[in-house]
Amino acid sequence: MAGSVTARLAELGLELPPAHPPVATYVGWAITGRQIWVSGQGPVWGQEIRHAGTVGAELDLEQGRAAARLTALNLLAQASEALAGDLDRISRCVKVFGLVNAAPGFLDAHRVIDGASDLIVDVLGPAGRHARAAVTASALPMGIAVELDAVFDFT
């Protein structure tokens, strides 16, 4: 039987992308104690970058939010890999750090990263409420629009 998180993903019409392998000298996730630290993820599906560009220039706010949503799904895909597919073991999303590839003067990074925060809460319920940072960057790796990392508690 599918777990409640898997059922909630299906209910929302969402599926997790395949966990993206690291592109440099790091791991996709690390476990310490009862926490999963997920490395920076981007808006990719498998090897395909789905949202590249600068928010506030080539991309508008809604496209940035869509990039953040897909990136949050990638965070959950990494957590799923760390937990052998059992996302119901996540007891809390502790922290999300968000970077937005933004045009000079773009002041809505927080609204872009809300796309990720909203998705995590939609999927995990109250356990998805987390501390967060949302900042801009003049560029991100491979031109991606958003990069996120996260920390999850698990049982």
Q: Give pLDDT tens digits for 50-63.
A: 999 999 999 999 99
Strand partners, 57: none
Q: Give pLDDT tens digits for 123-143.
A: 999 999 999 999 999 999 999
pLDDT at 2: 58
Residues 91/127, Cβ–Cβ less than 8 Å: yes
**Two structure tokens written together for 56:** 């506030």
pLDDT at 14: 98
How do beta strands 44-45 and 146-154 pair? unpaired
Mean pLDDT of all residues belonging to the chain: 97
Q: Give pLDDT tens digits for 70-125.
A: 999 999 999 999 999 999 999 999 999 999 999 999 999 999 999 999 999 999 99
CA end-to-end span of the chain, whole Å?
19
pLDDT at 69: 98
pTM above 0.95, yes or no: yes
Closest CA relative to residue 148, chosen from 2, 45, 37, 11: 37
Altogether, the residues listed in the chain come to a count of 155
Domains within the chain, CATH numbers bracketed: 28-154 (3.30.1330.40)
Residues 6+ apart with CB under 8 A from 47: 20
- Name the one residue in this structure whose structure tokens are 């501390």: 131
- How far apart are alpha carbons 8 and 13 in whole angstroms? 9
pLDDT at 72: 98
- How far apart are alpha carbons 51 and 42 in whole angstroms? 9
Q: Give pLDDT tens digits for 34-45.
A: 999 999 999 999
- How far apart are alpha carbons 121 and 60 in whole angstroms? 23
